Chains A and B, each alone.
Chain A
Amino acid sequence: MTGLLILLLFLVAGNLLQSQLDSPVPGSIIGMLLLLVFLMIRGRAPESLSQISKTLSPLLPLFIIPVSVGIVTQKELLAENGIALLVIMAVSIVPGAIVCAAIMKFRRKRDAE
């Protein structure tokens, strides 16, 4: 339970900071960054946190299903733009993938020399 409490503590802190600073970055992201800083200062992850992470990670997709089902409210938009959206998503992967892999490979070649 300590692990979950840590997560909620940082989430609440993140949300509070977000509203106080009127930040465009979501509270949960601020909470995550705060937790990251905490872990870096501490030097290792508490056992309870690793434990809750192992428990919750496989369930992650489950927690996203409800909001995703909201797609049923977007039928008109999808009927109108569905094909265009699919093409955009397929096409936009290609340049990004090549840039990404080229940078990784470029350095590797130089390392080998």
Chain B
Amino acid sequence: MLNELLHMPLFWAMLTIAAFTVGQHIYRLLGNTAFLPPILTGIILVSVVLEVTGISFDTYMDGGQYLHLMLGPVVVMLAVPLYQFIHVMKKEWLRISLAISLGSGTTVAVAVAMAHFWIGNDPITVTMSTKSVTTPVAVTVSEQLGGVGALASAFVIITGVFGALMIPPLLKSVKLDDPKAMGLTLGVCAHAIGTSRAIELGNQQAAYSAMAMTLTATLHAVLLPLVM
């Protein structure tokens, strides 16, 4: 009976939702800490269950694909916040565009160069290029480029956790920590996880972070396929 359950696609869809729900509860329990986003807990829990039961990723995906299917509409949906932010950034569009393109370009260039010379494995290098893009876009772009979707997701999430941890003290130490700079930098370098950190810091930080995350994702999604 257990074997039957473990090969039922619906079971895995249900388990994924359960793992995400547990992740959300732990996240709230820890006071919305940026360091354990619900998605990370969800991934870890599902992976552990797969390891313990010895079920293959392909079998899991028979059920997981139902949730995965929503990734496309959700990426298209990013146009809604993007449209609102374009309105907001009209006043300062030049400095915001420069900060976002040069800032995200720098972090990606450094990461890709390090991966190329240190590890020298092409799929890893290609996948590394999407590390500063919000996860749904990173996974989509990475697979298009010949990278590995699962790795892209891991890189993005770990980058987000590191960024949320490092950026506030880093910018404070070099005295670049005014609210707009802090928010924008968190969005550019640490996307959604940085944005949840920015929400803790204040309204202006949160707004700039969400805007930066969406603009960075769009910019990279269009440019990376043409450059890489």
Contacts and interface: CB of A to CB of B under 8 A. Distances in A.
Given A65-B39, A98-B174, A104-B95, A26 B76 contact: no
A16 interface: no
A58 B159 CA distance: 20
A102 B173 CA distance: 13
Contact of A92 (B47, B82, B111): B111
Contacts of A4: 73
Contact of A99 (B64, B103, B151): B103
Q: Most chain-A Cβ atoms within 10 A of its Cβ — which of B105, B108, B150?
A: B150
A91 B118 CA distance: 13
Contact of B46 (A59, A69, A73): A69
A113 to B, nearest CB: 15
B184 A100 contact: yes
A69 B157 CA distance: 12
Given A62-B42, A70-B149, A88-B111, A56 B73 contact: yes
Nearest to B51: A72
Given A45-B83, A107-B92, A64 B136 contact: yes
Interface string A48-91: 01101100110111111111111111100100010011101111
Contacts of B17: 62
Interface residues of A, number: 70
Contacts of B111: 88-89, 92
Nearest to B39: A61
Contacts of A103: 95, 98-99, 102-103
B16 A104 contact: no
Interface in B110-138: 110-111, 114-115, 118-119, 121, 124, 128, 131-132, 135-137
Interface of A: 4, 7-8, 10-11, 14-15, 23-29, 31-33, 35-36, 39-40, 45, 49-50, 52-53, 56-57, 59-74, 77, 81, 84-86, 88-108
